[in-house]
Homo-oligomer: A and B are copies of this chain.
């Protein structure tokens, strides 16, 4: 609680960031409104004032998280690259991006535990438009046009596979390490895994 009046938008943003961390760390049910308030020295009352209820806050967190991700995806510049290089770049970007944004991955895991029930209520997320898939579609078309890619490649299935490998790498790290050791998560091994993922994807399209 900074001592006096401040920009409402700043307060909102503070709460949102604190909530993102709290929800990502503890899940929707495990998160505590009080703990979110404590993270930024505000009161629970403020949180309800700005976001209505816990679910509303969670939805705002989810919305912001997705918006951020989509924006970063949109910023990926593949212009001028050959289809193969563009695809390689896209895969590398996704793999790295997921590793760098574990909180987002966790929020998605949590939302899946809840069968995407909350996402469904968020209007801004209902539109299925998605930069990642658009870029992939362009790459595929260019690749097919150039006779480099197979004709029966589905951009969606391709995206599914890129996502799966990049997502699992972050999402399941804990249990995978428990079961098989953490050897695959050293910097070296991750670099190799990344390259393997790229090659797998390229192998599919070619």
Contact = CB atoms under 8 A, between A and B. Distances in A.
Interface of A: 26-30, 106, 108-116, 119-120, 125-126, 128, 130, 133, 156-157, 159-161, 163-165, 167-169, 171-181, 183-184, 189, 192-193, 196-197, 199-200, 203-204
A112 B171 contact: yes
A122 B67 CA distance: 39
Given A29-B26, A113-B113, A160 B184 contact: yes
A161 B115 contact: no
Nearest to A105: B112
Contact of A113 (B109, B163, B180): B109
How many copies of the shown chain assemble into the complex? 4
B179 A128 contact: yes
Contact residues of A: prevailing secondary structure: helix
Contact of A184 (B30, B130, B156): B156
B193 A157 contact: yes
- Chain B CB within 10 Å — which of A126, A169, A174, A199 has the most? A174
